[in-house]
Amino acid sequence: MRVSILTQPLGHNYGGLLQAYALQVYLASIGCEVEILDRRAPHNIASEVKKNLINLLRLMSGRIRSMPTKRKREFVFSNLVDFRDRYLSLSKTITSERDIRRYYQSQDFDVLIVGSDQVWRPRYSPSILNYYLDFLDDVGSNALRISYAASFGVDKWEYNAAATTACQRLLSKFDAVSVREESGVSLCSDFLGFPGARCVVDPTLLLEKEDYSSLIESRPKSNEYAGVLVYMLNVSDAKRRLADQVANSLGVDSFSIKPDKKIDKVKPKNLVDCQYPAVEDWLQSFRDASFVVTDSFHGCVFAIIFNKPFVALDNPIRGTSRISSLLRTFRLEKRLVASSGLSVLELLSDPIDWKHVNSVCERKSEEGKLFLRNSIGKRDSHG
């Protein structure tokens, strides 16, 4: 069974890489031949020139310390790209509507799976209609159309009228539809005319702790990752103070696994301070930490996988509904500080029932796997 996975462009964030990795690993474990489409936005030369001119003016006025060039950006994300290239089975790079049609016309996939991390959020997508498989009819493909844990990212409707109409038509052709958040079920029903969407867990939860530990099993515990892990996607002074409060209350040090310096704020000789650590380092930080403070969906996921006590911080910029839906699944809603009304100190003295959490995790993982097996199994009757 040849399976193609469509997910957002990979190589700029840990969660995106690991959800693609997990889905690929699970599908391969049940006998599928898996490939992930390397879909990216086209390179816009005019936009790049405009950015460079603006940054040149900022540099000359002293507002930045160096030019954020393409080469520097590639260095900053090089460790994440290295993981992508080593562990993911990628197609050739696709950057246009014409190329995606030519590619699938030349291939013979049995199944196309859309999933998972914010694949149905227009603002993050190179082409939102591609993630509803608009090209399949054009190339005469008879492949199964499946979404696995597809995420809108938010609980509000962000599509314009034209996209809504087009996606309604395209989603009606899917053979099986599942979403990642409870709010996604409602969005499919209310705006896309599809009331039968299932809610399933993120692909990362299809694997077990041991599957991720195998990527870092040769690494001894490190004092560098001892104490409170602070993993913030959107840093603020208030969040920093809260993380410090947690560390002080526990009597341990805190550490960050994400660089807090930007390319344009450092001199070229200090560019290494902006580089993202390897995915293996990221995983090890969760394995070895004693506590986690995060505003990230996948930060919460991996705290749960590694059974690390944690607090989740509100992140409306990236979509709080993603985190709140995840936490409700495990009866951990009060770990979301902004929503629970509890103080951090109260949460530190409130232990997590890991026996319950792990039981739910096992059950939900099996439900997700069953959805995939049953959906892919429709191929036999699909012709």
Angle at 171 (CA atoms; ends 29, 12), nearest 5 degrees: 55
Six-digit token pair at 159?
């599509």
Residue 382 has a pLDDT of: 52
Residue 60 has a pLDDT of: 85
**Residue 201: pLDDT band by 50, 70, 90 thresholds?**
very high
Q: What percent of the chain has pLDDT over 70?
A: 97
Residue 68 has a pLDDT of: 85
Q: What domains lie within the chain, and their CATH numbers? A: 2-207+363-382 (3.40.50.2000), 216-352 (3.40.50)
What are 107-129's pLDDT values in tens digits? 999 999 998 889 999 998 889 99
What is the rounded distance in angstroms from the CA atom of residue 228 to the CA atom of residue 230?
Answer: 6
Residue 64 has a pLDDT of: 81
Six-digit token pair at 54?
């603006």
Q: Is the pLDDT of residue 43 over 80?
A: no
- Mean pLDDT for the stretch of residues 328-351: 82
- Measure Cα distances from 137 to 133, 207, 323 in Å: 8, 33, 35
- Mean pLDDT for the stretch of residues 164-192: 97
Beta partners for residue 111, in sequence order? 3, 144
Q: Are 190 and 349 in contact (CB under 8 A)?
A: no
**Residue 22: pLDDT band by 50, 70, 90 thresholds?**
very high
Higher pLDDT, 341 or 199: 199
Lowest mean pLDDT among 12-16, 163-167, 267-271: 267-271
Q: Is the pLDDT of residue 36 over 90?
A: yes
- Mean pLDDT for the stretch of residues 206-217: 94
What are 89-103's pLDDT values in tens digits? 999 999 999 999 999
Q: Is the pLDDT of residue 209 over 90?
A: yes
Query: How far is C-alpha 258 from the chain's CA centre?
Result: 15
Lowest mean pLDDT among 114-118, 282-286, 337-341: 337-341
